[in-house]
Amino acid sequence: MNERKRILSNLDNVLRLTFMSVHTEHQNQGVGSFMMEWICQEADRHNRHMYVLASPAGVHLYLKFDFETVGQVDAGKGVITSMLRKSR
């Protein structure tokens, strides 16, 4: 069973965040946090859990927004972390 199916098999109403990045010239200026704050507010407004496969560089940001690590996958070029945020 693949990682995503293992994590999501018992949950309904899940949004999957598939890709998010900030241009290198704008990193460490709060842009990623600004985007995640809006995304999380919308997910909560619609009573949705959120799931993401995070790169090593993104894990810290997702932890800041109450995502929990629920698994890891060795992707060959590094570890990808499965993360879940329950709706509020």
Q: Which helix (H) or strand (E) holds 16?
A: strand 14-17
Q: pTM for this one?
A: 0.82
Q: Which residue has the higher pLDDT, 13 or 65?
A: 65
Rounded mean pLDDT, 24-34: 93
Q: Residue 6 above 90 pLDDT?
A: no
Domains of the chain by residue range: 3-85
Class of domain 3-85 (CATH, top level): alpha beta
List the structure tokens of 34. 């600004």
Write the CB contacts of 58 (distance below 8 Å, at least 6 apart in sequence): 20, 52
| Amino acid letter, 65 | F
